[in-house]
Amino acid sequence: MKPDGLTNGELQKASNLRRVLVTGGGGFLGQAIVKLLRKKAYEIRSFSRSTYPELENLQVEQVQGDISDANAVEQACKGMDLVFHVAAKTGVWGNYRSYFATNVIGTQNVIAACMARGISYLVHTSSPSVAYNENAVQGADESLPYPSNYLTNYQKTKFLAEQAVVQASSKTLKTIVLRPRLIWGPGENQMIPRIIARANRLVQVGENRNLIDTIYVDNAAEAHVLAAEKLQQNHALSGNIYFISQDQPIYCWEMINRILEAAGKSPVKRSIPAGLAYALGAVMEIIFKLLRLSGEPQMTRFLSRELSQSHYFNINAAKKDLGYVPRVSIDEGFERLKLWFESESPH
């Protein structure tokens, strides 16, 4: 039986959709998606603020622009069949306007451009944090409700972006939302550098009994490409949201210590109670806001919860609908990360 009642002609058309735009194609996940698409012989265009030599080496067309610029986004979408919307402003601190411009307006621009240019498929990168309240999450699936309040502007704006993509699903535009959890691997340029830079000052929050989900970057990239291919074959998946991860929860501070070990650093030995970290985070947030300090607090309420509470998810839906299986294990991922650190170290 043909998926979702598609005719032979429709199936052939879906299989021929080879022109792909990746927003944020120069970023960590974006580049991993581009590399995988290149192996599968897709025609790829990247839309980012800058140019990247890594993409140039892959002979990827690069278009520069701001995701909050509707005209720039529409021009980038010209001639495309499929869009991976990966570009986003991440982090736990910053003013709402900047998060809204990138994450919400940027996503609205992508949706509008898809509709204006007759693009049939959109895969959107969201975050499990859109479903966080201030409680632990242990094995929840996609039925987990959105919280009434968010601790960060990132969460709130990613929630609004996710909802925009779900609501845009229609007969003409098919969409899927993916929620990858803590993407890591060689070359990751946010979480891992921060851990390494603070190696000598890190303090364990809580008792390290909290399990968390993560996802190795190659697994995340494969999940995105699988989502696009399955969506083309089965339009009934349109509008769906999927958690994706290693499907192997790990203790939070074991994860951090293994990153430190891969980099040749000592493990974290000091600790503070989770409640104290939360209180410190609340005080620091107030001080930074009142004094309008630059940078970001060393601790926030959200970060204290991230570091002390369990957050892991049931990915059975992604396995069933997308055929997603994490091919790179945590152990193999850390072997690759260690080799990368060694290759980056001065000799």
CB-based contact 113:65 (threshold 8 Å): no
- Known catalytic residue at 52: no
The DSSP bridge pattern shows strands 204-205 and 271-272 to be parallel
Question: At a CB cut-off of 8 Å and minimum separation 6, what does 150 contact?
Answer: 132, 156, 159
Residues 6+ apart with CB under 8 A from 325: 319
What is the distance between the alpha carbons of residues 118 and 190, in angstroms, rounded to a whole number?
35
Edge-to-edge strand list for the sheet holding 311-313:
137-140, 311-313, 211-212, 250-251
Cα gap 278→72, rounded to integer Å: 41
Of 333, 113, 139, 315, the C-alpha closest to 227 is 315
* 205 burial type by CB count under 10 A (0-12 exposed, 13-18 middle, 19+ buried): buried
CA dihedral 36→37→40→41, nearest 10 degrees, is -140
Specify burial of residue 343 (Cβ count, 10 A radius: 0-12, 13-18, 19+).
exposed
Neighbouring-strand partners of residue 64: 48
Catalytic residue among 154, 216, 312, 324: 154
SS3 240: strand
CA 252, 254, 255, 256 dihedral sign is positive
Residues designated as active site: 154
